[in-house]
A and B are shown apart, each in its own frame.
Chain A
Amino acid sequence: MPKYSEDFTPQEMIVVAGSRTLIDNKVVFAGTGLPMVAITLAQLTHGPGIVPVFEAGAVGPELSRGLPLSVGGSRTTYKANYLLGLNSAFELTQRGFCDFGFIGGAEIDPYGNLNSTMMGSFPDGYNKPKTRLPGSGGASDMACSCERTIIIMVHEPRRFNEKIDYITSPGYLDGSPNARWRAGMAGQGPYRVITTKAIMGFDDETKRMKLIATLPGETVTSVQEATGFKLIIPDDVYAFEPPTVEEVRLIREVIDPKGYFVRKKIKE
């Protein structure tokens, strides 16, 4: 049997990349959808000690009753080790109990700032946006107060912009030295950006996004072409190891057999 899968989907690639980025025994604040799949995959492979936290209150549950449809759903609470509500989950995060947070957005800038609030002119057009998005939810709290964040994005030029319409979840703000500290934030900021095309990180000095690895089927050029701003391209960019047959099997057969999140079409 070949080691690597030959028919994985973009979502499965994101899940595998997200899973491999996680470290065993860390506390991971999870959003709905692909992050939950990534955490479960990590638990079933290299990270059995990963502790998931859901913003509606559940800490360290077993996810064996099926994939939750919501971070507030019953399936997030099975055998949880602590369970109160939103205040308690965010208080833990603010205190420093959450090592990683998984977040996303409709657009991102080179400094890892994310927009999930509105498209249009801000602040003038705040009450008449071109497109209204769902809003922050807990993402902006995770962006500020988890020790590090992992950002998941669909990789399209229009989502990667030098300037975004609205900063919902702050990354490195304008990239100036100690911008987050000066703004009063507690956490260290974005750690990785995982997309349908690449894994990226941030330059230590300028805090601008840099390419780390290209996903299967992509090249440095194809990734740069799909990005609406100039990426830093270091010399040591590498090709990311494709999903293994076993990882894809776990996703399809064990974690998300109904295909709620991984078989969903990536939306426009």
Chain B
Amino acid sequence: MYWTGLSPDEARQFLANKDKSKRDKRISLKEAVQKYVKDGDNLGIAGFVNARQPIAIVHEIIRQGRKDLTLSFQSAGLAPEYLCGAMCLDDSKNSIKRMELAYLAHEAFGISPLLRYLTEKSLVELEDWSNYNMSARFKAGSIGLPFIPCRSPMGSDMLKTNRAVVQDCPFTNRPIMLLPASHPNVALVHVQEADIYGNCRIQGPLFTCPEISMASAHTIVTCDRLIEHEDMVRYPNRISIPYFSVDAVIEVPYGAYPGNSNGLYYYDEKHIPEFRIACEKFRKGDRAPLQEYYDNYIFGVEDTTGFINRIPLSQIQYVEKIEPGIRLDAAYTVLGS
């Protein structure tokens, strides 16, 4: 048995020694990536397919360059695709060694061209799991268990190449699948709202963001809006990630663009295909469009503000316009009143 990232005992020890104080954790995204993301790390990528993916963090990692990364996620799209693209363009600067994944593609927008490119050329190592498996592995990590039992996907070929163990349940005597916990070195998380201490309030589905953060040694959070701490603690049971699980908080409006951030902006149905088509052309041998994309939107800008400045304002307004908005209303009407 081997562990990628931290072993359960290392993860426990790490947390035992961690500063859990309630302190202002605002730093720049540049500094956060410099400080917490190292070559060879296992990165837990939060979000789900192209919703609330940590795009701003991933672009900054690409600008700085990190090598031999392991990426762990359930279903993801843009975040790993961007890292794959950076590796395709210059693997002396950015590279992925391994992915522990359930799905890498873009649903209605199409398949992941660079997952195809890198795996068909045998340039990355894969470990296939199901969505529930990856989510449950993060959950095991987040609750301090070395493994978690699970009833799917028994009978799948995934079990022949991943680290799951099937054995008889000691209570029912029926076969059950045991999954090793996942403890990434760093969780990369984008949320709508956070306070300066790192408390996060997620709007819409939580995906597996709380589990990924709580399982990881470090968590970098970008948020669309920093909000007053008093407003955060007004609804304590709506805090999805507690502050002591977070190391760095950075306000990055549009930090999940061109993906969806529930309540704030919808998928950009123009920009996602623009990037995906450049990836598809690379896979088919035409490198220039992908290089141009990265030069224009990632290497040619300082940060997410620079990236957004290169998107037509009307396009940004449209993805905001079609998103219904956030309502957090604790009031109610008594039935029959």
Contacts and interface: CB of A to CB of B under 8 A. Distances in A.
Contacts of B130: 136-141
B75 A128 contact: no
A243 interface: no
A82 to B, nearest CB: 11
A132 B119 contact: yes
A38 to B, nearest CB: 15
Given A123-B161, A169-B156, A85 B175 contact: no
A94 B151 contact: yes
Interface stretch (A3-11, A54-62, A194-202, A247-255): A54-62
Contacts of B129: 136
Given A129-B119, A134-B112, A135-B103, A73 B260 contact: yes
A136 B131 contact: yes
A interface SS class: loop
Contact of B101 (A87, A135, A145): A135
Contact of A183 (B47, B115, B155): B155
A85 B157 CA distance: 26
Nearest to A168: B156
A34 to B, nearest CB: 11
Contacts of B102: 135-138
B324 interface: yes
Nearest to A66: B322
B108 A186 contact: no
Interface in B70-129: 74-75, 101-105, 107-109, 111-112, 115-116, 119-122, 125-126, 128-129
A136 B206 CA distance: 20
Nearest to B175: A184
A184 B166 contact: yes
Interface string B119-162: 11110011011111101100100000000001111111110110
B208 interface: yes
A185 B151 contact: yes
A90 B324 contact: no
Contacts of B155: 144, 167, 170, 173, 179-180, 183-185
Contacts of B121: 128
B267 A137 contact: no
A85 B209 contact: yes
B205 interface: yes
A136 B207 contact: no
Contacts of A132: 115-116, 119-120
Interface of B: 47-51, 74-75, 101-105, 107-109, 111-112, 115-116, 119-122, 125-126, 128-133, 135-136, 139, 150-158, 160-161, 166, 174-177, 204-211, 260, 262-263, 266-267, 269, 323-324
**What are the nearest 9 A-B pairs in CB distance?**
A184-B175, A140-B153, A144-B152, A57-B205, A134-B105, A72-B48, A170-B155, A85-B206, A137-B103
16 contacts: A74-B204, A74-B323, A84-B205, A128-B119, A128-B120, A128-B121, A132-B115, A135-B105, A136-B131, A141-B130, A141-B132, A143-B153, A173-B155, A183-B155, A184-B154, A186-B151
